[in-house]
Amino acid sequence: RLKPFNRLQVILQHLKMSKHTDSTAEVLLEKRGGAGIITLNRPKALNTLTISMIRQIYPQIKTWEQDPETFLIIIKGTGGKAFCAGGDIKVISDAGKVGDRLIQYFFREEYTLNNAIGTCKKPYVALIDGITMGGGVGLSVHGHFRVATEKTLFAMPETAIGLFPDVGGGYFLPRLSGKIGYYLALTGFRLKGRDVQKAGIATHFVESEKLSALEEDLIALKFPSIESIAEVLNSYHEKSKIDQEKAFVLDEHMEKINSIFSANSMEEIVKKLKQDGSAFAMKQLETINKMSPTSLKMTLRQLREGASMSLQDVLTMEYRLSQACMRGHDFYEGVRAVLTDKDQFPRWKPAALEEVSDEFVDDCFKPLGNNDLKL
């Protein structure tokens, strides 16, 4: 039997947890066995990330990291459609239009959370079932394990809304094999299912219907370690038969991707696509022509520089870029065209790559002095 004091502690702990397991809460935080479990709970909004969710998840990760009774952290989404479709971009756009400070602290706190995941001392397992884009990638890709399913849809579509692949995209994208990361960042190409694992974004592939059994097996581990968690994940991965024989979707194009996307400038990439002239190259050209020219130039430089930087330095750089986008025109226009009016016809300023000067791009990367992100 529990001593009275211990019993009180247990009750208080339970109350604290049950407050968060209220089904209407945006994020559910619970402890099961030795596992801390984060559940993104905005299914109608495809679990898009709000500032209040960030403010609940970050301190909880930090607490669990210090807790000797917590051995692993699992993050997942509710609703069956999405792990997390990104940050709540519309809210940020509305805030930026009226000069609200949310445009500073949202990115600051989101990137601080991305860094906490990237440096987490406890094994961190993200179950990326369904749509995983933008901010959802930031919540998963920097952890030890990412489990994709046949329902996973991965993309970094930011250049289409006048942003750039942030949340540490400058760190993980250039580290993917060949120039896949550059291709994904500039075109917003969507990877599905097993291809997310074949590209090196997910560490494992497990059938969606097996995820709850996988979760139970992870929770049941007595003293989970990176090795014992990897063993469980490997055994599920090996038993997954869906699309096992299918070649990686980009296999046949990898040679072209590696040669074209290794160019030093956006203008050169466009030139190489035109020279190539294949159906694949023309399709990429058509896609790139729809993106914000400013975003494209910013993104190419972000990845080229991020390739040799630490995650912390990348996030500091990306915070500078986020604030440049908030000061600019294209982000608000992109959100209008894609998310608000949905006319899919953004009027970018400048409208052509040639008009985005090197000086302007340099300016986006400049330190912000006292306002820089400090990690």
How buried is residue 248: exposed, middle or buried, by Cβ count under 10 Å (0-12/13-18/19+)? middle
Taking CA atoms, 209 is separated from 150, 151, 215, 233, in Å, by 10, 10, 11, 15
Q: How confident is the model at residue 340 (pLDDT cuts 50, 70, 90)?
A: very high
Nearest CA to 269 among 251, 293, 245, 250? 293
pLDDT recorded at residue 22: 63
**Ramachandran region, residue 27 (left: φ > 0; alpha: ψ -120 to 50; beta: rest):** beta
Which amino acid is located at 138 in the chain? G
Catalytic residue among 88, 110, 158, 333: 158
Q: Domain segments of the chain: what residues?
A: 25-371
Sign of the dihedral defined by the CA atoms of residues 43, 101, 329, 316, in that order: negative
Q: What integer pLDDT is reported at residue 8 of this predicted model?
A: 55
Which structure tokens are listed for 294? 């400013």
Residue 350: asked if its preceding bond is cis (omega within 30°), the reply is: yes
Domain 25-371 has CATH 3.90.550.10: no
- CA nearest to 191, candidates 241, 224, 150: 150
d(CA 229, CA 236): 11
Q: Which pLDDT band holds residue 16 (cuts at 50, 70, 90)?
A: low
Task: Evaluate if residue 18 carries a pLDDT over 50.
Answer: no
Q: What is the pLDDT of residue 19?
A: 46
Q: What angle do CA 270, 152, 305 make, to 5 degrees?
A: 40
Q: Which of 166, 195, 318, 330 is catalytic?
A: 166
The dihedral sign for the CA sequence 236, 117, 23, 16:
positive
Contacts of 29 (CB under 8 A, 6+ apart): 17, 20, 21, 36, 37, 38, 39, 56, 57, 60
Q: Please, what is the average pLDDT of the chain?
A: 95
> What is the total residue count of the chain?
375
Whether 87 is catalytic is: yes
Q: Could you tell me if 185 and 269 are in contact, meaning their C-beta atoms sit under 8 angstroms apart?
A: no
pLDDT value of residue 24: 84
DSSP string, 230-293: HHHHHHHHHH--TTSSPPPTTGGGHHHHHHHTT-SSHHHHHHHHHHH--HHHHHHHHHHHHS-H
Q: Which of 34, 86, 134, 135 is catalytic?
A: 135
According to DSSP, the residues that pair with 147 across neighbouring strands are 127, 204
Cα separation, 206 vs 242, in Å, equals 9
pTM here? 0.93
d(Cα 290, Cα 334) in Å, to the nearest integer? Answer: 11
How far, in Å, CA of 230 to CA of 313, rounded?
A: 29
Q: Packing angle between helix 102-118 and helix 311-327, nearest 10 degrees?
A: 160
Which tokens sit at 262?
A: 């290794």
* Spatial separation of the C-alpha atoms in residues 286 and 260, rounded to whole Å: 15
The residue from 87, 138, 162, 306 that is catalytic is 87
Q: Catalytic residue at 135? A: yes
Residue 166 among the catalytic residues = yes
The pLDDT score that the predictor gives to residue 223 is 86
Under 8 Å between Cβ of 38 and 57: yes
pLDDT at 21 over 90: no
pLDDT at position 6, please? 57
Rounded CA separation 80/46 (Å): 9
pLDDT at residue 47 tops 50: yes
Confidence of residue 293 (pLDDT cuts 50, 70, 90): very high
User: What is the spatial distance between Cα 137 and Cα 84, in angstroms, rounded to a whole number?
Assistant: 8
pLDDT tens track for 117-173:
999 999 999 999 999 999 999 999 999 999 999 999 999 999 999 999 999 999 999
Give me the pLDDT at residue 5, please: 52
Over pLDDT 70: what percentage of the chain?
Answer: 94
56-82 pLDDT tens trace: 999 999 999 999 999 999 999 999 999
